[in-house]
Structure formats: C-alpha cells, structure tokens
A and B are shown apart, each in its own frame.
Chain A
Amino acid sequence: MKTMRILVTDDDPIIRKLFAKRLRQEGYQVTLAPDGSEAARLLDAMPFDILITDLVMPGGIDGIALLKRAKEISLDIEVIVITAHSSIDTAVDAMKKGAVDYLEKPIHFDELFLRLDKIREIKSLQKSADDLREAIQVTENSAAQTIQELEMINSNLLIKIDEMEEILTDFSQNAEARIERALKILEPR
C-alpha cells in the first residue's frame, strides 16, 4: 500500500515541526495546518488518509468541529486527537464522535507509529475485502442477468405449453383446426 497522507493540525508551531520531522522520517506524507479553518480548507481541497488534530485550538473551528468536518468529507479519513492529560474527557467525547484514537501530550512518537501501523493494516484489509466484494458483485450481476433472462424465456415457454394443451384438448374443434391453432403459438410473436 502506498504511504499514508497525514494532515497534522496544531496551533503550536514547535509541535507542528516535530510532527513533520518524525512522520516524514517514517516515510509518511505530511501536510501541516496551524488552525481549524486552514485544516478544513485543506481537507476540502485534497485527499487525506489520516487527520491528527489538537482538540483545543483558537479560532472558530476546534478539534471536535474539525473531526466532524473530516467525517462529513469522507468516512475513510481516520482521526486521531491530541489532548492534554487533564482533558481526557474531551478525548473520550471525540472517540464517541468517531475518532479512532487519542494521544496524550507529550507525544510519544513510538506509540503513534504503532497506532498508524495498525490503521494501515486495517485499511489494507478493508481494501482487500472491498476488492473481493467488487469481484463477487461483478460475477453476481452477470449471473443474475443470465438467470433472469432464462427465467423469462422459461416462463414464456411454459405459458405456450399451457396454451397448446388447452387448444389441443379443446374437442369442440376438429383435429386439423386444433393443430393449426396450436402451431400458431409456436410462431414468434
């Protein structure tokens, strides 16, 4: 799987730089945003696999609002929130609103890398499952079409047989007339 694209949003420039350095060293593609509105703009403009965001940020869009925004744009974006130890409650709230995980400050990068590996693994498993489903779907669609066509043909034939039987056993007419009428049924309509 290609490297994951990560958007990091934090109002602290030092933390932003640190994230960029460490994540890039690990081979991730990193984009930085200093606040919620810039992050929201970036989310709209380009695709990301992961959003890492501070919960408390100045300006109109805080971490929770950004999380909601990201999920509106794509359910595939996984969101990890960063929180101070004192505000675990907000982190739990973020998980309730769809974040996959939270990180406590100060950031332990080794821990973050482990979690990112897990997310990558899950995403790639899901991709395989989606691919398989897609393949099944294609097969199923063509099978369905064939079966439905046969079903219609079969049903029309059964109707014709019923009609023929009715005509051939209608003894109010002579044999010749019955046969002639019965043969008419076999003509394509």
Chain B
Amino acid sequence: MLKISPDETRLITRYIHEISGIFLDESKKYLLETRLNAIAEAEGCRSYQDFYTKAKADASRTIERKIIDAISTNETLFFRDTNPFQLLQHKILPELIDARTPKVPSMKTPLKVWSAASSTGQELYSVAIVLKELLGDLSRYNVKLLGTDISDTAIAQASSGKYNKFEIERGLARDKLQKYFSLTGQSWKINDQIRSMVNFRKLNLMLPFTGLGKFDIVLCRNVAIYFSQEDRKKLFNKIADILEPDGYLLIGSTESLTGICPRFIPKRHLRSIFYQLK
C-alpha cells in the first residue's frame, strides 16, 4: 500500500477540495490512503505526488471522476428521517399545489423539485412516491423532479432505478415496495411510471447554478456537512437565488443554517423544520 506523506496529504486534500468542495483536514490521512490506494496503484503511480500530477494532467478527467467516487459518501436511504416526507405530504405539497393551480382549468399545475445531492436516487424517488400517492392521476400536473450529484456512478445507479436487497429494505415500507418496484434478478427496479417522473444529471454544487431555473422545493440534505463553512455559505446563498419566493428548503435533520445563510428562516411543522426565504 502506498504511504502518504504530510505534504502529499495537504496536496491531495487541496486537490479534492478544488474538484468537489469536499473538505478533509489532515486527520483524514487514513481515509485518503484506504480510499485512494487502489486507484493510485491501478494508475501505476509510485507516490501520491505522482498520482496528483497524473490526475491533474488527465484531460479526460477519468482519474478525477474516480477520486470523487472514492471520496464521496453516497450513504442514503428511502424516506430518510421520515418526518420531512410527512411534512411534504401533509403541508408543503398541498400548500404549493393550492398556490400553483392556475385559474384556467385547462392549464396544468406546475411544480419543480430539486434533490441537490441525490446520490443513488432514493431521496428523489421518495418524493416522487409521495407525489404519486398524493395526486394520483398526474395528467393535470406538470411535475419536474430533478436529481443532481457530482458522482457519475451515483447518477448512473439513480437513473437505472435499480436497488439491491440491502438498499431496498432500508426505509421502504412493504406496501410501497410491492406497489412501486418489481424484482428482476437480485435487484428491485422502480416502476416506469415513477421513473418517468424524475430526471438525474451530474452537477457540482460548487459551480454556478446556470440553466436550472427556479424551484418550488429544494432538498439539500446531508451534503453541506462535507463542505467548509465558507463553501456552505456560498452554497445556501446560491440556493436562495434559485428558490421561488414562497418555496421551501429542506436540509438534513442534523444540519443547521445558523450563521450560514440569514436569508432563510426556519419554521417548524409536524416535528420537523423547513426553511423559507425571509
């Protein structure tokens, strides 16, 4: 196994921050070694300095992608924390739909939701399932559910809508499993109707949000925890910019916006907190 020197640790952590915003301090030396070793060795590198140089020079950005996949934590589950999804079902979605339903009956009700670090898709599919259960026939709605993540592998799995036994059992009630998934081989696949409600694509939250438009609901959960305080401020400021004035922001259950973005105020409903613009 390749050993990483203190200088190389600084070099690599700075590089990781540059490409992903993920902030690792020097105590994460062990994490770097265990997660990057295989990639570095596969590239035939004899030191991490060597690895860094090679990654920087790689025009195809393949190594960069592999590093991001190795370093990012994709941990997620269906209906994570439960409460936010009840909040969506009983408060946020009904209120938004009320507010967005056009006066002209022939026009569809628009609704845009963004899962800003969607990982392997469970979060966005959970929203889609809540919407489907709430609205039933979706033909009178123009629902756009977008999931983005920096990891190509995560996006690929999210798009496939396939989950193994361990993933599917986490957070998903039996009735929903039976209703919205079918077993193919050793994996469970989300049904076409739910799949067709969502879109996934790659996006680095550190970059400007161009061409996304405005959203009624943004879920930015359990991703900012990996960023520095400075980067968190920038991120939530950008989110404030793309949120509709009466839109809703949901963050992770152990996260806080105190001292991060004064443009948002927390509100409490049904045992969970959501944020709205001041």
Contacts and interface: CB of A to CB of B under 8 A. Distances in A.
A143 B186 contact: no
A147 B254 contact: yes
A150 B255 CA distance: 11
Given A75-B165, A148-B268, A140 B185 contact: no
Given A75-B169, A151-B273, A152-B268, A96 B185 contact: yes
A155 B263 CA distance: 12
Contact of B265 (A95, A143, A155): A155
A133 B171 CA distance: 12
B186 A98 contact: yes
Contact of A147 (B81, B168, B178, B255): B255
Nearest to A146: B254
Contacts of B272: 148
A78 B275 CA distance: 44
Interface of A: 71-72, 75, 95-98, 126, 129, 133, 140-141, 143-144, 147-148, 150-152, 154-155, 158-159
Contacts of B268: 148, 152
Contact of B266 (A95, A129, A133, A152): A152
5 contacts: A147-B256, A148-B272, A151-B256, A151-B273, A152-B273
Interface in B228-265: 253-258, 262, 265
A148 B257 contact: no
Contacts of A75: 165, 168-169
Interface residues of B, number: 23
Contacts of B62: none
A43 to B, nearest CB: 16
Given A96-B185, A98-B183, A151 B253 contact: no
B183 A144 contact: no
B266 A155 contact: yes
A158 B262 CA distance: 10
A95 B186 CA distance: 8
B106 interface: no
A100 B272 CA distance: 40
B184 interface: yes
A129 B272 CA distance: 27
Given A140-B253, A148-B273, 11 more contacts: A71-B183, A75-B169, A96-B185, A98-B183, A98-B186, A129-B166, A133-B170, A144-B253, A151-B258, A152-B268, A155-B266
A95 B253 contact: no
Contacts of B256: 147, 150-151
Cβ-closest 10 pairs across A and B: A144-B253, A96-B185, A144-B254, A148-B273, A143-B254, A155-B266, A151-B266, A154-B258, A151-B256, A98-B183
A89 to B, nearest CB: 15
